[in-house]
Amino acid sequence: MAYNAAEYIVRTKSLVKEFTLGGETLRALNGVQVDIRRGEYISIMGPSGSGKSTFFNMIGGLDKPTEGSVFIDDVDMAQLDASELAWLRCRRIGYIFQSFNLIPVMTALENVTLPMIFAGTPTDDGIEKGIQLLTKVGLAHRLHHKPSELSGGQQQRVAIARSFANDPAIILADEPTGNLDTTTGEEIIELLRLLNKEKGVTVISATHDLKMLDVSDRIVWIRDGKVDRIENRSDITIDVGRMQGED
Amino acid sequence: MTTAANVAGIQRQIKLPLTKAFEISFKSIKNRFWRTMITAIGILLGIAFLVSVISSSYFARAAAFSYGPLSPQWIAYKKQLDLGQIQTREAWLVALALLVSTIGILNSMLMSVAERYREIGTMKCLGALDAFIIKLFIIEALMTGIIASVLGGLLGFILIFLSYLGQQGTAWLHFANFGDLFKWIGISIISGSFLALIASAWPAALAAKMPPVDAFRVEV
Instruction: Read off the pLDDT of residues B160-211 as tens digits, 9 standing for 90 and up.
Output: 999 999 988 888 888 888 999 999 999 999 999 998 998 888 888 988 888 8
Cα nearest neighbour of B125 on chain A:
A89
Contact criterion met (CB < 8 Å) for B4 and A72: yes
Residues of A in contact with B5 (CB under 8 A): 80, 83-84, 87-88
Let me know: does A77 contact A85? Beta carbons within 8 Å. Answer: yes
**Which of B4, B132, B213 comes nearest A63 by C-beta?**
B213
Torsion of CA B7, B11, B13, B15, to 10 degrees: -170
Higher confidence at residue B7 or residue A215?
A215
pLDDT attached to residue A27:
87
Higher confidence at residue A127 or residue A81?
A127
pLDDT at B8 over 70: no
- How much is the average pLDDT of A74-88? 87
Quick one: pLDDT band at residue B2, thresholds 50, 70, 90?
very low
pLDDT attached to residue A243:
64
Q: From CA A224, how far away is CA A26, in angstroms rounded?
A: 11
pLDDT attached to residue B82:
86
Quick one: pLDDT band at residue A245, thresholds 50, 70, 90?
low
pLDDT attached to residue A103:
93
Q: From CA A121, how far away is CA A171, in angstroms rounded?
A: 20
**Average pLDDT over all residues of chain B:** 86
CA distances from B156 to B63, B90, B153, B159 (A): 18, 16, 5, 5
- How much is the average pLDDT of B147-155? 95
Instruction: Read off the pLDDT of residues A158-213 as tens digits, 9 standing for 90 and up.
Output: 999 999 999 999 999 988 888 888 888 888 888 889 989 998 999 999 888 888 88
pLDDT attached to residue A49:
79
pLDDT attached to residue B51:
94
Contact criterion met (CB < 8 Å) for A86 and B12: no
pLDDT attached to residue A1:
42
Domains assigned to chain A: 39-50+79-234 (3.40.50.300)
Instruction: Read off the pLDDT of residues A109-143 as tens digits, 9 standing for 90 and up.
Output: 999 999 999 998 899 999 999 999 999 899 999 99
Q: What is the DSSP letter of A156?
A: H
Cα nearest neighbour of B33 on chain A:
A105
Residues of B in contact with A166 (CB under 8 A): 127
- How much is the average pLDDT of B4-33? 75
- How much is the average pLDDT of B133-158? 93
ipTM passes above 0.90: no
CA distances from A82 to A71, A86, A185, B4 (A): 16, 6, 35, 14
Q: From CA A155, how far away is CA A98, in angstroms rounded?
A: 11
Quick one: pLDDT band at residue B1, thresholds 50, 70, 90?
very low
pLDDT attached to residue A5:
52
Does residue A113 belong to the interface with chain B, where contact is any CB pair within 8 Å?
no
Model pTM score: 0.84
Name which of A109, A155, A100, A102 is nearest A132 in CA terms.
A109
**Contacting A residues, span 42-61, partner chain B, CB-CB under 8 Å:** 57
Strand boundaries in chain A, DSSP class E: 8-21, 24-32, 35-37, 41-45, 67-72, 75-76, 93-96, 170-174, 202-206, 218-223, 226-232
**Contacting A residues, span 68-107, partner chain B, CB-CB under 8 Å:** 72-73, 75, 79-80, 82-84, 86-92, 95, 97, 101-106
Name which of A205, A206, A232 is nearest A217 in CA terms.
A232
Q: Identify the three-state secondary structure at position A227.
A: strand
Quick one: pLDDT band at residue B36, thresholds 50, 70, 90?
confident
Cα nearest neighbour of B124 on chain A:
A86
Q: From CA B106, how far away is CA B100, in angstroms rounded?
A: 10
Contact criterion met (CB < 8 Å) for A80 and B3: yes
- How much is the average pLDDT of A98-114? 93
Q: How many other C-beta atoms are found inside a 10 Å radius of the C-beta of residue A30? A: 15
- How much is the average pLDDT of B128-151? 92
Instruction: Read off the pLDDT of residues A12-70 as tens digits, 9 standing for 90 and up.
Output: 988 899 888 888 888 888 888 899 999 999 999 888 878 888 888 888 888 888 889 99
pLDDT attached to residue A2:
47
Let me know: does A117 contact A194? Beta carbons within 8 Å. Answer: no
Higher confidence at residue A178 or residue B52?
B52
